[in-house]
Amino acid sequence: MIYTDTLSLTLVYQHNFFQFNKQQLQTKRYSDKRCFDFTDIDKEDLPPEHIRKIIRDRGNMTNKKFHHDKRICLDALKYMPHAILKLLPMP
């Protein structure tokens, strides 16, 4: 395709330039991110005493100082079976 008009030629160059920039941005955005930070995969297990202390401290929620925490603790009860399973020793 031969362009004789300078305006159309300029538009074609601009289009190609923006297309190339868009492709570079998309490549940067969606390519694999390579981090050079070291992350330790093995987490230290919390001892069972940690959960026991939380339950012992928050066992009686009738006190007035736990008025705002009562709602949070009642909502968190649905996660309690999962927490118990995490504490059980694996066979």
pLDDT in tens, 39-80: 666 777 778 888 788 777 767 767 777 777 777 767 777 777
Task: Check pLDDT > 60 for residue 26.
Answer: yes
Q: Phi and psi dihedrals of 57, rounded to 5?
A: -70, -35
The Cα 32–Cα 51 span in angstroms is 38
* pLDDT of the residue at 36: 64
The Cα 51–Cα 59 span in angstroms is 11
The Cα 76–Cα 70 span in angstroms is 10
* pLDDT of the residue at 7: 62
pLDDT band at 34 (very low <50, low <70, confident <90, very high): low
The Cα 28–Cα 82 span in angstroms is 39
The Cα 57–Cα 51 span in angstroms is 10
pLDDT band at 85 (very low <50, low <70, confident <90, very high): confident
* pLDDT digits 0-9 by tens, 8-24: 667 677 777 777 778 88
DSSP for 32-55, written as a single string = PP--------SPPPPPHHHHHHHH
Task: Check pLDDT > 60 for residue 2.
Answer: no
